[in-house]
Chain A
Amino acid sequence: MNRSTYILPVIVIAVAAILSSIFIVDERQKALVLQFGQIVSVKEDPGIGFKIPLVQEVVFYDDRILALDVDPLEVTPLDDRRLIVDAFARYRITDVERFRQAVGTGGEETAARRLDSILRSETREVLGSVSSNDILSTDRAALMLRIRNAAISEANALGVTIIDVRLKRTDLPSENLNATFQRMVAERAREAEDERARGREAAQRIEAQADRTVVELVSEASREARIIEGEADALRNNIFAQAYGQDAEFFQFYRSLEAYGIAIGQGNARLVLSPDHEFFNYLRNENGTTTPDR
Chain B
Amino acid sequence: MAGNNGGPWGGGGNDGDDDDDRFRPNGNGDRNGGRRPNNDPQIPEFDEIINKTKDQLRVLIGGGDGRKSDGGGGAGGAGGPQITRGMVGLGALAAVAVWAFSSFYTVRPEQKSVELFLGASYAIGEPGLNFAPWPFVTAEVVNVTQEQTIEIGVGRGNAADAGLMLTGDENIVDIDFQVVWNITEPDRFLFNLADPETTIAAVAESSMREIIAQSELAPILNRDRGAIADGVAEQVQRTLDSYDSGVNIIRVNLQAVNPPSQVIAVEDLDGNTTQTSPLSAFRDVQDAEQERDRLQNLADAYANRVLAQARGDAARVLEQAEGYRARVVNEAQGEASRFLAVLGEYQLAPEVTRQRLYLETVEAVFGATDIILLDDNGQGGGGVVPYLPLDQVRRPTTDGGSN
CB distance from B310 to the nearest CB of A (A): 4
Residues of A within 8 A of B276 (CB): 185
Provide the main secondary structure of the chain B interface.
helix
The listed residue (B213, B264, B288, B368) touching A192 by CB distance below 8 A is: B288
A265 touches B365 (CB 8 A): yes
What's the Cα separation between A62 and B191 when bound, in Å?
Answer: 10
Question: Is A287 part of the contact surface with B, judged by Cβ < 8 Å?
Answer: no
- Which one of A34-42, A96-104, A113-121, A168-176 contacts B? A168-176
Question: Is A213 part of the contact surface with B, judged by Cβ < 8 Å?
Answer: yes
Question: Is B300 part of the contact surface with A, judged by Cβ < 8 Å?
Answer: yes
What's the Cα separation between A2 and B185 when bound, in Å?
Answer: 57
Provide the main secondary structure of the chain A interface.
helix
What's the Cα separation between A95 and B277 when bound, in Å?
Answer: 52
Question: Is B133 part of the contact surface with A, judged by Cβ < 8 Å?
Answer: no
The answer to whether A67 and B199 touch (CB under 8 A), given A232-B328, A235-B328, A257-B357, is: yes
B213 touches A64 (CB 8 A): no
Q: Which residue of A lies closest to B379 (CB)?
A: A294
The answer to whether A182 and B374 touch (CB under 8 A), given A210-B302, A279-B366, is: no
B191 touches A170 (CB 8 A): no
The answer to whether A203 and B318 touch (CB under 8 A), given A177-B161, A268-B401, A270-B393, is: no
The answer to whether A254 and B370 touch (CB under 8 A), given A170-B209, A193-B269, A225-B318, is: no
A47 touches B264 (CB 8 A): no
The answer to whether A261 and B299 touch (CB under 8 A), given A192-B284, A250-B343, is: no
Residues of A within 8 A of B326 (CB): 232
Which positions 136-169 of chain B face chain A at CB distance < 8 Å?
161, 164-166, 168
Which positions 10-50 of chain A face chain B at CB distance < 8 Å?
23-29, 45-48
Residues of A within 8 A of B172 (CB): 172, 177, 180-181, 184
Q: Looking at chain A, what size class is its interface with the partner chain?
A: 35 or more
A168 touches B209 (CB 8 A): yes
Which positions 275-331 of chain B face chain A at CB distance < 8 Å?
276-278, 281-282, 284-285, 287-289, 291-296, 298-300, 302-303, 306-307, 309-311, 313-315, 317-318, 320-322, 324-326, 328-329, 331
Residues of A within 8 A of B285 (CB): 188, 191-192, 195
What's the Cα separation between A235 and B330 when bound, in Å?
Answer: 10
The listed residue (A27, A218, A222, A242) touching B120 by CB distance below 8 A is: A27
The answer to whether A166 and B202 touch (CB under 8 A), given A199-B296, A257-B358, is: yes
Question: Is A157 part of the contact surface with B, judged by Cβ < 8 Å?
Answer: no
Which positions 215-255 of chain A face chain B at CB distance < 8 Å?
215, 217-218, 220-222, 224-229, 231-233, 235-237, 239-240, 242-244, 246-247, 250-251, 253-254
The answer to whether A192 and B199 touch (CB under 8 A), given A138-B214, A243-B340, is: no
Interface residues on chain B, number (Cβ under 8 Å): 120
What's the Cα separation between A256 and B57 when bound, in Å?
Answer: 160
Residues of B within 8 A of A268 (CB): 397, 401
A184 touches B199 (CB 8 A): no
B372 touches A270 (CB 8 A): yes
Question: Is A141 part of the contact surface with B, judged by Cβ < 8 Å?
Answer: yes
Question: Is B210 part of the contact surface with A, judged by Cβ < 8 Å?
Answer: yes
Question: Is A189 part of the contact surface with B, judged by Cβ < 8 Å?
Answer: yes
Q: Which residue of B lies closest to A199 (CB)?
A: B292
A69 touches B202 (CB 8 A): yes
Question: Is A73 part of the contact surface with B, judged by Cβ < 8 Å?
Answer: no
B214 touches A137 (CB 8 A): yes
A267 touches B171 (CB 8 A): no
B324 touches A228 (CB 8 A): yes
Question: Is A291 part of the contact surface with B, judged by Cβ < 8 Å?
Answer: no
Question: Is A145 part of the contact surface with B, judged by Cβ < 8 Å?
Answer: no
Question: Is A78 part of the contact surface with B, judged by Cβ < 8 Å?
Answer: no
A67 touches B119 (CB 8 A): no
What's the Cα separation between A196 and B342 when bound, in Å?
Answer: 77
B303 touches A228 (CB 8 A): no
What's the Cα separation between A264 and B363 when bound, in Å?
Answer: 12
Residues of A within 8 A of B372 (CB): 270-273
CB distance from B260 to the nearest CB of A (A): 6
The answer to whether A214 and B373 touch (CB under 8 A), given A65-B193, A199-B293, A257-B358, is: no
Q: Which residue of A lies closest to B202 (CB)?
A: A88
Residues of B within 8 A of A67 (CB): 194-195, 198-199, 202
CB distance from A31 to the nearest CB of B (A): 10
CB distance from B330 to the nearest CB of A (A): 10
The listed residue (B191, B354, B359, B376) touching A274 by CB distance below 8 A is: B376
What's the Cα separation between A206 and B295 when bound, in Å?
Answer: 10
The listed residue (A62, A214, A254, A280) touching B307 by CB distance below 8 A is: A214
Contact sample, A vs B, 15 pairs, CB 8 Å cutoff: A27-B191, A28-B2, A65-B245, A88-B202, A138-B214, A167-B206, A181-B264, A182-B264, A182-B266, A192-B287, A196-B295, A202-B296, A206-B302, A268-B397, A271-B372
A-B interface, 10 closest residue pairs, ranked by CB to CB distance from nearest: A199-B292, A221-B314, A225-B321, A210-B303, A243-B336, A232-B325, A188-B281, A26-B2, A203-B299, A195-B288
Q: A28-B191, A228-B324, A242-B336 are in contact. List 5 more A-B contacts (CB 8 A).
A: A185-B266, A192-B281, A217-B311, A257-B357, A271-B369
